[in-house]
Structure 1
Amino acid sequence: MGGMTDATTGPADPREEILSVVDENDEVVGEAPRGEVYARGLRHRCVFVLARDADDRVFVHRRTPQKLVFPSLYDMFVGGVVGAGESYDDAALREAREELGVDALPRPTPLFTFLYEDGAGHSWWSSLYEVRCEPPVDPQAEEVAWHAFVTEEELTRRLDEWEWVPDGLAAYRRLLDFRAG
C-alpha cells in the first residue's frame, strides 16, 4: 500500500503527500506531491507554531537527520506543510499535536502570514501561530532528535551558536519585529 494515504497516519512516504501549489498572492493554482513540490521549487504553504510552556519558555528542537528539508538543524517552531485542501489553522493544530505529541493541545492562535523566499528560487507562504503547551511533551521520534523548553534569553543567546533552519530563523525575526511594533 505504499503511497496510499491513511486518515490517521498520512502517506506512507512523505514525498507523496499532496500539497497545494500557490501563486505570489497565496491563491491555489494546482496540486502536486511534496517530493515534486520540493524538487521543482514550487510555491506552497507552511505553518510555524511557537509553543510555550506555563513558564513562558519556548519549545526548541533539533530535527532528525532523515528530514526531507533542513535535516539535523535546530528550530524554535513546530509545524510543516499544509496539505491540499487543508486550512492553515487546521494544519497548525495537526502539526503542533503531532510534533509535540500532545493530544489535548488547544487550537494555536494565528499571528500573521508572510511569504518566505530563500533567495535561491524557493518560496512558501507561511502562517505563524503561538500555542500554550503544558509538558510533558512526547515529540515524534521521526521528527525530533532533541528538544527542550528554553527561556527567551537562552534562545537569543543560541541564535548565533546553533545552526537554525533558515525559514524558522526568518519567521522568528519577523515575530520579534511584529512584537516590537
Structure 2
Amino acid sequence: MGRVSAADEVLDVVDRDDRVTGRAPRGEVYAGGLLHRCVFVQARDARGRVFVHRRTASKLVFPSAYDMFVGGVVGAGESYAEAALREAEEELGVAGLAQPVPLFKFLYEGPGGAWWSYVHEVRCELPVRPQESEVAWHTWLSEEELAGRVADGEWEWVPDGLEAYRRLRAHRESRQ
C-alpha cells in the first residue's frame, strides 16, 4: 500500500468553538478554507536554546519559510496531545521524547487561512535528525538570538508560527 499524500490525509473540520463538525481530506480543507486543528511545539535543547528551521520548498503551506516551532495538523480523531508528540518526534527525528507540555490554544486567522492552534513546549536532549521532507535547514538559537532574528526581518517566518511566538512571549511575561 502506498503512502497517503499530505493532501489526502483526513482531518477533523471544526467550528469557531473548536467542536468537530465533520471530516475532509487536507487538500479540501485548505482549498475550502475550512477550520481545522494544528499543534505548535517549541523544542528546547539542554541549554534552553530553541530549535529553529527552514521548511522545505515542497510544503503545502508556507514553503521555504522559517519557523521556531515544529508541529502540524491534527489528524482525524487524534487529540492535540497525541499530535504534539507525533509531530515533534517526526520533525525532530527522535524517538522517546517526553510528552510536550500544553500551554494555550488560540484561533489563528491570517495568511494561509484559519485554524485552531495549540501551543506546547518540550525539552529535547536527544540528538536530532530532522525529517528531510519537512526540514531543509535547522539550528538551535538562544532566546535572545531568536528575538533578534524575528526583529531584524531578514528571514521570512511562517505567519502562524510568528503569531504563536508573539502569544507565547506574552503568555510567559504574564506569568512572571
* TM-score in terms of structure 2 length: 0.95
Find the counterpart in structure 2 of residue 17 from structure 1: 9
* Contact 2:8 2:25 survives alignment (8 Å): yes
> Which of 122, 139, 148 lines up with 2:139 in the alignment?
148
Find the counterpart in structure 2 of residue 27 from structure 1: 19
Is there any run of 5+ residues in structure 2 with no aligned partner, and where?
none
- CA deviation vs aligned residue, 1:15-52 (integer Å, no higher than 9, x gap): 10000000000000000000000011000000000000
Find the counterpart in structure 1 of residue 122 from structure 2: 131
Counting only pairs closer than 5 Å after superposition, residues 96-135 of structure 1 correspond to structure 2 as: 96-118=88-110, 122-135=113-126
Find the counterpart in structure 2 of residue 40 from structure 1: 32
- CA deviation vs aligned residue, 1:90-117 (integer Å, no higher than 9, x gap): 0000000000001011000000001000
Find the counterpart in structure 2 of residue 180 from structure 1: 173
The size of the alignment, in residue pairs, is 172
Distance apart, 1:119 and its partner CA: 6.4
Identical aligned pairs, as a percentage?
67
Q: Does 1:72 align with 2:67?
A: no
Deviation above 3 Å: which 4+ runs of structure 1? none
CA distance in 1, matches of 2:133, 2:154: 24
* TM-score in terms of structure 1 length: 0.92
Opposite residue 134 of structure 1, the aligned amino acid is E
Is there any run of 5+ residues in structure 1 with no aligned partner, and where?
3-10
Opposite residue 41 of structure 1, the aligned amino acid is G
CA distance in 2, matches of 1:112, 1:59: 19
Find the counterpart in structure 2 of residue 5 from structure 1: none
> Which of 143, 152, 166 lines up with 2:159 in the alignment?
166
CA distance in 2, matches of 1:66, 1:134: 28
